[in-house]
Structure 1
Amino acid sequence: MNKFLYKQIDNIGLVLFRAVFGLLITIEAFGAIATGWVKRTLVEPPFTFNFIGFDFLQHLQGPGMYYYFVLMGIFGIFVMLGFKYRFSMIAYAIMWTCVYLMQKSSYNNHYYLMMLLCWIMAFLPANRWFSLDAKINPELKNPAMPRWVLLVLILQVWIVYTYASVAKLYPDWLNASMPALLMSSKSDFWLVGELLQEKWVHWCIAYTGLFFDLLIVPLMLWKRTRLLGFIISIFFHLFNSFIFHIGIFPYMSIAFALFFFSPEILQKRFLPKKKLYNEGEVIVPKHKNLIFGIFSIYFLFQIGLPLRHWFFKDDVLWTEEGHRLSWRMMLRSKSGSLTVFVVDKEKGERELYNYNSLLGSKQQGSVATKPDIMWQLAQKIKAIEAEKGRDVAVFMESRVRVNDGEFHPFTDPTVDLAAQEWHPFKHSEWILPSPDDYNKKPVKE
């Protein structure tokens, strides 16, 4: 085991990925300002729906987030250049983790993956070559790294893709109706809009997506299929970038190829002056048990979290319980309507509550379908009314449809959500059971 994990191998893939990753997280930070994402998500709304338990992050929300993201962008540049790398990577990881946990209205799997990679990269020796740190301090310079570094990165990527593939094994994906729904909003795309409405294209998207996610890592691991896998990966991710506009995620995924190609090929293509390491020493660190223990626990969580929805009652596509942190990518489209009533406990008066005045436009689109956000809204309404001297109960009538199916009642309108406790690993009984045909498409007259 020591020989397998701690054998020294060339580090060119890691240092190249650090440079690319630094560029991408820089683009993410400055791009969030340029595209208005920071304004829509973290400045304009009077409050955000943070991950439950991280309410203290609300203090960051507001105009100061512009400066916050500029600082993140600067740290991203430092990561790219390998300057003060460890400090810069840890700083970016902390700041991005806070951004991720302070809002759920703009949830995206690549935000989660980026957070994980930031923390992994923060503890890897990615600045020992092709970096300002190594140039300033020659003693730091080293052409090698232990093999476990490469294994950790590949295993993380493998988990992401495998769960993304397994999650697609459900009827609406296998019968191509979900890809058809995804493509229905792309009809006005230049040159390919009409093509994307063809049924055979929907079937191609469904099964290409499923098998790509399942097989891309094995294809990249095997030398004979590596080039084929890389070409397929480029086409697949550029298609996703063009069609779905999902930020840096496709380009980060293409960059994962740096973990699979041989050092000789990477040196020839990118760093011809780099010294190649091929001595194969085995250097066992003093704290090997700590390293092994930390990553063992980490990957147990990574393997376990995407499975937790099986331990909740009902279907995750309906309840949303166990959906996040599970690599369930582009699997469902949900829309809903929400009506909120409050009852003054002292006077017994029931009144319609205009909750939209509390929310930004992005938040209004997610509050009607996400039960944890509904619960948080109920707590917020109760707190607002308490400041006015009123003790109120909060009731919600919600109707939801999944994958363009029929609308069905989603929440129990007789339950005071403001009086309920939130249990992250327990089913919320005020979520109504999913109808047997909840994703059945309505009949068009």
Structure 2
Amino acid sequence: MKKRLFAEIDNAPLIIFRIFFGFLLACETIGAIFTGWVKANFIDPDFTFSHIGMDWLQPLPGNGMYYYFVVMGILGLLVMLGYKYRLSLGLYTILWAGVYFMQKTSYNNHYYLLLLVCIIMWFLPANRYASFDVKQKPSLKKLTMPAWCSAVMIFQVAIVYFYATIAKFYPGWLDGTFTRNLLEARTSGFFHEIAIQKWFYIFIAYAGIAFDMLVVPLLLWKRTRTLALIASLIFHLFNSITLHIGIFPYFALSFAVFFYPPEKIRKIFFKRKPVVESYGMDYSNTGVLKYFFIPYFVIQLFLPIRHHLIKGDVLWTEEGHRLSWRMMLRSRGGYTLFKVVNKANNNQIPYNVSDDLTRKQINSMDTKPDMIWQMAQRIKKKYKEKGLDVAVYATTKAGINSDPYKTLIDPTVDLASVEWNYFFHNDWVLMYDENGNIIR
């Protein structure tokens, strides 16, 4: 195993991935401006729902977030060109981490994956060929890398697909309910008539399981590699066209370069790249593998299963949902009404959440316990600034995959006075038994 990990291989896969990756980073951030994503999530709201514990992380005032994203777009292009690679990628990673932790209204798993790959790539020698860094400092040029550089990328994408597969084994996916609802909402015209047929949405549901389960093993096996790549192209292009999920399909496809023999990648993308006549062993970065990547992957293997240590069904409570590759898995519907009570005289104070939130924020918050709790904290702070000490109660009805609504939040609990439990179940998030009775 040690010999396999530290054996030298052609670094063509890592170099071309850097070029693809940098280009996609630029597309993601500049595209966010032109599609209105930045405006909807950072310019229009008075504040954002940051990750809990990071409420201080708020958008720049005025049009500041437009400039913020332009800077990220430029940094993405610099990564692609390999100019001041570690500085450019390091700055992009910090800025993208800010974007990721700054808002949950438009949470998406590929934003998380983008952050993780930025971190991984910062540790890899992706600027050693076909880069401005090499032109400025020729001594940096190198034609090989240790095999573990490809292995860590393959392992990361394997984790994503493995947990995405496991998460789909629940009734709402297996009976086609979620895929039916999704296709019904996202398709139109002639294709819509096909998409809502039972045979089609059931096929899509099980094809999704099969793809996530088999794509990495099939890419690893030489005999099925090209077949798996063709299946990946069909799968991801279908998702791109029907689901409109930004760069993720193309980002996922770019990992394919690590599954093919490095020499083949060199012949396709770098025809002028010198051929390495003799490969040796490269032990130059053993510390990075041992002290960063091993702990990193231990964490990555644990995070997606942490919800098993938390009481309740993660589909309902949402506790442990994020960072777990539960991608495009369920839809949530419902509403939340807040009741604000003045503790001094027990009088109810009229409150309309639309005075503080955009419609998009309301739709996202309505059925998510952590965002509802955060809103209660903000309401308390708002009235405290007016000299009032208030209690905040929430009446929340929610349903999964168009199921009948049930009460999600205990309406008798003052959410403004309870603490958020980061690691275990919050008792004010109600749970139900198989008969629909509240579990106390």
- Please, what TM-score do these two structures have when normalized by structure 2? 0.96
In structure 2, what is the Cα distance between the partners aligned to 1:268 and 1:299? 32
**Greater than 2 Å deviation, 4+ residue runs:** 59-63, 276-280, 287-291, 434-438
Q: Which amino acid aligns with 1:265?
A: K
Equivalent pair of 2:25/2:73 in contact (CA under 8 Å)? yes
Match of 2:5 in 1: 5
Alignment of 1:20-419 (within 5 A): 20-58=20-58, 60=60, 62-189=62-189, 191-277=190-276, 279-285=278-284, 288-289=286-287, 291-419=289-417
SS at match of 1:145: strand
Quick one: which amino acid aligns to residue 332 of structure 2? K
Which of 61-70 and 392-401 deviates more?
61-70
**Greater alpha carbon shift after TM alignment, 396-405 vs 273-282:** 273-282
Work out the percentage of aligned pairs sharing the same amino acid: 49
Q: How far apart are 1:353 and its partner, in Å?
A: 1.6
Q: Could you tell me how far apart the structure 2 residues matched to 1:59 and 1:404 are?
A: 34
User: In 2, distance between residues paired with 1:11 and 1:29?
Assistant: 27
RMSD over equivalenced CA pairs, Å: 1.4
Q: Give the conservation status (yes or no) of the 8 Å contact 2:10–2:263.
A: no
Note closer, same or farther for the CA distance 1:62–1:109 as it changes in structure 2 (3 Å cut): farther
Give the distance between the partners of 2:405 and 2:46, measured in 1 at CA: 30
CA displacement at 1:62 relative to structure 2:
4.8
* Structure 2 CA distance for aligned equivalents of residues 412 and 62 of structure 1: 38
Deviation by residue 1:295-336 (Cα, 9 ceiling, x = unmatched): 111111101000011111110010000000000011111011
Give the drift of 1:428.
0.6
TM-superposed CA distance for 1:175, in Å, is 1.2
Task: Give the Cα–Cα distance (whole angstroms) in 2 for the partners of residues 347 and 384 of structure 1.
Answer: 18
Tell me, what secondary structure is at the counterpart of 1:28? helix
Whether contact under 8 Å (2:47, 2:59) holds in the other structure is: no
Which amino acid is 1:94 matched to?
I
Q: Is 1:187–1:193's contact at 8 Å kept on the other side of the alignment?
A: yes
Q: Distance in 2 between matches of 1:230 and 1:295?
A: 27
- Give the SS at the match of 2:27: helix
Contact 1:9–1:278 (Cα < 8 Å) also in 2: no
Distance apart, 1:95 and its partner CA: 0.4
Distance 2:435 2:247 in 1: 37
User: Do 1:318 and 1:434's aligned partners in 2 also have CA atoms closer than 8 Å?
Assistant: no
Instruction: Measure the CA separation in 1 of the matches of 2:304 and 2:341.
Output: 38
Query: Which string of whole-angstrom CA distances, capped at 9 and with x for unpartnered residues, describes residues 172-217 of structure 1?
Result: 111111111111113424x422111111111111111001001101
Any stretches of 5+ residues in structure 2 without a counterpart? Answer: none
Q: Given that residues 23 and 80 in structure 2 are in contact (C-alpha distance below 8 angstroms), is that contact kept between their aligned partners in structure 1?
A: yes
| Matched residue SS, 2:104 | coil
Q: 1:66 to 1:376 in 2, by over 3 A?
A: same
TM-score, with structure 1 as normaliser? 0.95
SS of residue matched to 1:192: helix
CA contact (8 A) 1:400 1:407 kept: yes
What is the alpha-carbon distance in structure 1 between the residues aligned to residue 353 and residue 433 of structure 2? 28
Count matched residues.
436
| Counterpart Cα distance in 2 of 1:86 and 1:70 | 19
- Within 2, Cα distance between the matches of 1:250 and 1:342? 44
Per the TM alignment, residue 435 of structure 1 is displaced from its structure 2 partner at its CA by 5.2
Distance in 2 (alpha carbons) for counterparts of 1:12 and 1:360: 46
